[in-house]
Structure 1
Amino acid sequence: MLVAAVLALVAGCTGTSSDASATGGTTSSPSSSAPAAPPAQVALSIADGAADVSPAQPLEIDVTAGELDDVTVTDGSGAPVPGEVAPSAEDAGTAVWTPAADLAYGTSYTVTATAAGAGDQVTTETSTFTTVTPRSQDKPDIGPLDGTTVGVGMPVRVFFDEPVADKAAAERNLTVTSSTPTDGVWSWVTDSEVHFRPSTYWPADTDVTVEADLFGVDLGDGVWGEVDRTVSFHVGEAHVSVADAAAHTLTVTSGGQVLQTYPMSAGSAENPTHNGAHVVLEKFADITMDSSTFGLAADAPGGYRTPVKYATRISNNGEFVHGAPWSVRQQGSSNVSHGCINLSDERARWFYEFSQPGDVVEVVDSIGGTLGPADGDIYDWAVPWDQWQAGSALS
């Protein structure tokens, strides 16, 4: 060996041969060999035989004393699963195999990783694991819809198919980003519905993206997330109206500038309009108001079935801003409606054309109670901010 030859040469230069001759001894060249290089070591993040694995769990490969050469994954039938390997964003010494398409639930997979060590030594590590079989899979709906423009009062709403047992797990995988940063927080309004809003209305002209990365997430009670979803929407101009039930006026603003102040009639003493920030939900050029939709027969005392024009819904308890030509004489002086904001047809048409879903109508000084859960989907702004924050599973 080269090392032995070098040692022999050094020995000759220091007189070892003459010393040996003087003593009558014999000489021999000392021998030495370098220690064998250790083989590469491969460690897989999912143990062999693991069961009930999330199909979204990262498959990480750590290699020491060598270089990763190849990673293959096959399903239970032996068919290859397409994917690619890239360095981990969190650990430079770790590689991550990512499938080209999501792994399936209730399926067996085998991963084989090969690494080359010194002297062309090859090390192979294999792991076979099985992904979890859910009792059911949840694919929640998200509002606002992708690509829409909404008003400054529209919260983000996520509707799950069934009650969520592990709300914290769900919430950790819901992300909202906006072009104008806010202090928004998620809050659970029911066991199957969670909303996101800032402490005050959204800033106007803001782009918002909602990412629900729920595939492979254990939501508890045997329910797992079915898919990942991304929704983007735009917050438009700041349309905020104030319906003052005591002054009998509807004041409409855009970007803080007053556009209209209309005489109106709010809910009567028997059917007062609810106080609080209402949110525009939908609009109808023509609709028939029917008391039977909230349990009062149209032919019963106080019941009604009345066609109206230019109806802008502001809650799901039957409250609209709409045309009411029969109450024009009371508009501006008294409250005679069944809870709606009555305007003349001409003024209701202007408001109808002006409004967009998510606009805000703040009802003040009504003798009625405050908007709440019994009034339907969106009563979010009536909830004090500290209570709203307390509704987060991560608070």
Structure 2
Amino acid sequence: METESTSGLRPRRGGTVKKIALLAVVCILAAGGGVFAAVAPGFARGSMESEAGSAVRSAPGVASPVVAPVKLDVSPDDGAKQVNPAAPVSLKVTNGRIEGVTLTTTGGEAVQGTFAGDGSSWSAVGPLKFNTEYSYTYVVTDGAGREKSTTHSFSTVSSSHEADAAIYPLDGMKVGVGQPLQVIFSEPVVNRAEVEKAIKVTSSAGQTGAFHWFSDTMVRYRPEGFWAANTTVTMDMQLFGVDLGNGQIANFNKKVNVNIGDKRVAIADSAAHTFTLSVNDQVVKTLPVSMGDERFPSARGYAVLMEKNRYDHFRAASIGLKPGDPAYYGEVDVEYSIRLTLSGAYIHQALESAYPFIGNKNVSHGCIGFAPEGAAWVYNNMTTGDVVQVINTKGDYAAHDDGYGDWNIPWTEYDN
């Protein structure tokens, strides 16, 4: 006869004891808080706890923890075009950790970045380049330590949408008290407020001022009165990445320090035929001159000295004169030339034929003409940014953008 097992259970045909033993193992594991993913033979899978509600997830022969899915916030998006080079390049992860990031141009130039201490984020350091393709690869692990590598790409603003600017005065220049700060953009500016916000102007004298747009590409800045003598004005332009409008993006940051010299303001009196220069509000010199005649009266108001040339060449055609006109003078060489307007008004040594009229009659085409000694003195004692005020003339004001006509604009209109 058959013997009984030491367990007190009788062996039965078909391996009943083995099945009971396997069931016991499953029960023991269940009591310990775990469930095998692989289902033992002869047991229905549906009789077990679901994976979603379990502390382990099933895999053939492996038990691994159930973890929340990794969530990524990546900027820029994969395949993005016309990305602003100043826009942040970043990666943030939830329910995971960033193990490594590489950001490179297609030419292999790497962009450096910084990680958060807990590995939850990464961001690029510094701006990108214009008109450049970038490859962006990042490696992230989830809560179970499983690693995944992802690569995507994007490209930055093309050259056709890149804007720069010309700035005057240049860094380190020394100019007179009348010199406005000027920025001329290569592309039209629609978002003027954004541009103004990105340009910070400070004065060592504490002066404040205002911007004035002369066109959709040119903006200037000046205080209500002349700059304080012997001070420094700083223009800090943080324009890289600023959207000028119509997709045009500024491509530069620049800081310029402008040194303001003594206050030199001259009064050119068309009726008295005199030119009187004051330095720091003290009269230092009065010289005889000949100014614009009846047909070409000198423009009234303030003019700012623009540039100086020891020798210059004038052409009558440049002011619309043609042969046969009584005022036509052909082409002449002049000395001690200082430009007042873009349209052709100058301080300069008069032609020899005008010498007899200096100090008693106006015979010029709108310029302020001096005898040789007077022209040399003014040339050596005045500089760009200094101011000349023309009075007692029948001429109208020059156009405000015909040179630096800023001081002829009332402050309430300039600061608008």
Q: Normalized against structure 1, the TM-score is what?
A: 0.75
Q: Which amino acid aligns with 2:83?
A: V
User: For 1:166 and 1:352, how far apart are their aligned partners in 2?
Assistant: 41
User: For 1:206 and 1:116, how far apart are their aligned partners in 2?
Assistant: 60
Does 2:183 align with 1:183? no
Q: Deviations over 1:19-69 (max 9, x none)?
A: xxxxxxxxxxxx99xx99989976445445544321111234556789876
Corresponding residue for residue 374 of structure 2: 347
Say if 1:63 and 1:115, in contact at 8 Å, map to a contact too. no
Does 2:287 align with 1:262? yes
User: For 1:66 and 1:145, how far apart are their aligned partners in 2?
Assistant: 51
Say if 1:70 and 1:115, in contact at 8 Å, map to a contact too. no
Say if 2:130 and 2:159, in contact at 8 Å, map to a contact too. no
Matching residue within 294, 298, 303 for 2:319: 294
Say if 1:107 and 1:130, in contact at 8 Å, map to a contact too. yes
CA-based RMSD of the aligned residues comes to 3.5
Q: Deviations over 1:337-370 (max 9, x none)?
A: 2211122210111000111111111112211101
Q: Which amino acid aligns with 1:341?
A: I
Which piece of structure 1 moves more, 40-49 or 228-237? 40-49
Matching residue within 358, 378, 389 for 2:385: 358
Does 2:260 align with 1:235? yes
Say if 2:103 and 2:134, in contact at 8 Å, map to a contact too. no
SS of aligned partner of 1:283: strand
| CA drift at 1:184 | 2.1
Give the number of the structure whose alpha-carbon radius of gyration is greater.
Answer: 2
Which piece of structure 1 moves more, 317-326 or 357-366? 317-326
Corresponding residue for residue 89 of structure 2: 59
Corresponding residue for residue 399 of structure 2: 372
SS of aligned partner of 1:135: helix
Q: Percent identity?
A: 33
Structure 1 unaligned runs (5+)? 1-30, 88-92, 391-395
Does 2:180 align with 1:144? no
Matching residue within 306, 315, 319 for 2:345: 319
Matching residue within 215, 220, 223 for 2:248: 223
SS of aligned partner of 2:415: helix
Q: Which amino acid aligns with 1:227?
A: F
SS of aligned partner of 1:171: helix
Q: Which amino acid aligns with 1:320?
A: Y
Corresponding residue for residue 111 of structure 2: 82
Structure 2 unaligned runs (5+)? 1-31, 34-54, 56-64
Corresponding residue for residue 202 of structure 1: 227
Gap change, CA 1:387 and 1:67, over 3 Å in 2: farther
User: For 1:327 and 1:239, how far apart are their aligned partners in 2?
Assistant: 27
Does 2:152 align with 1:110? no
Gap change, CA 1:361 and 1:80, over 3 Å in 2: closer
Say if 2:98 and 2:121, in contact at 8 Å, map to a contact too. no
| CA drift at 1:326 | 4.0
| CA drift at 1:274 | 0.6
User: For 2:186 and 2:237, how far apart are their aligned partners in 1?
Assistant: 14
| CA drift at 1:162 | 3.7
The total of aligned residue pairs comes to: 351
Higher RCO (CA 8 Å, separation ≥ 6 residues): 1
Q: Which amino acid aligns with 2:210?
A: V
SS of aligned partner of 1:381: helix
Say if 1:285 and 1:309, in contact at 8 Å, map to a contact too. yes
User: For 2:377 and 2:205, how far apart are their aligned partners in 1?
Assistant: 30
Say if 1:164 and 1:219, in contact at 8 Å, map to a contact too. yes
Gap change, CA 1:106 and 1:284, over 3 Å in 2: closer
Gap change, CA 1:80 and 1:344, over 3 Å in 2: closer
User: For 1:55 and 1:339, how far apart are their aligned partners in 2?
Assistant: 49
User: For 1:175 and 1:86, how far apart are their aligned partners in 2?
Assistant: 32
